[in-house]
Amino acid sequence: MLRVGLTGGIGSGKSEVARRLVAHGAVLIDADVAAREVVVPGSRGLSRIVAAFGADVLSPDGSLDRARLGEIVFHDPGLRAKLNAIVHPLVREWMAAAERTAVQAADPPGPIVVHDVPLLAESRGKGGFDLVIVVDVPSELQVERLVSQRGMARGQARARMEAQASREQRLEVADIVIDNSGSLADLDRRVTAVWADLQRRTGS
């Protein structure tokens, strides 16, 4: 089995890369799915968040009000770190369990398992992965995509980017860099080449 960490800044096109790797045959473990699962009503994660931030972060139905929690922590690095200290260990635990299940079900065995972790550089670096893939685009292109594709104002886009690791910090943990500043056809070719490299590393 080859354990691969996949990351990239907001607007980099990381999800496009993840979809292509799955199409090639990778097993995908998604940290965003994990982050939702570990805070469902009745979970340890949600109880800890309420204890730390108060019942105001709950929706009327008892689920986590992500928008409200985001407003509380977004502009305060200390509170964001407090939230991450609750959520990140639970996410890692969930992803490890999901990986065990996926590997047991894999046919043939010895799969390439890709962990899609948006905040990999912030939360864990290379820890536990055989290699890390970073999807990279110039910062200005990130802004353009967030404005055109997600409807953000430029200031909002830059604030979201600044809340993440810098481009340089992500590249520091990269074993493989996928440049996604071109067309989707360019991306197809790059991901196909990376997949061939991953297969060579597994001997398949």
The pLDDT tens digits along the chain (204 residues) read: 899 999 999 989 999 999 999 999 999 999 999 999 999 999 999 999 999 999 999 999 999 999 899 888 888 889 988 998 999 899 989 998 998 888 777 666 568 999 999 888 887 666 789 999 999 999 999 999 999 988 888 988 898 888 888 899 999 999 999 999 999 999 999 999 999 999 998 876
pTM of the complete model: 0.84
Cβ-contact 165, 12 below 8 angstroms: no
- Considering the domain architecture, whether residues 138 and 73 belong to the same structural domain is answered as no
For residue 202, the tally of other CB atoms under 10 A from its CB is: 12
Closest CA to 178 of 113, 119, 133, 116: 133
Domain boundary, last residue among 60, 89, 109: 109
Give how many domains the chain has, as a whole number.
Answer: 2
Cα gap 196→69, rounded to integer Å: 41
Domain end among 109, 131, 158: 109
Closest CA to 130 of 29, 7, 2: 2
* φ, ψ for residue 69, nearest 5 deg: -60, -40
Same domain, 119 and 89: no
As a dihedral over the C-alpha atoms of residue 56, residue 88, residue 84, residue 116, rounded to 10 degrees, the angle is -100
Same-domain pairing of 101 and 116: no
3-state helix, strand, coil in the chain (%, to 5): 60, 15, 30
Reading across the β-sheet that carries 112-116, which strands appear in turn? 27-30, 112-116, 2-8, 131-136, 176-179
Domain that holds residue 83: 34-109
Q: Tally the C-alpha atoms within 13 A of residue 82's C-alpha that lie toward its C-beta.
A: 16
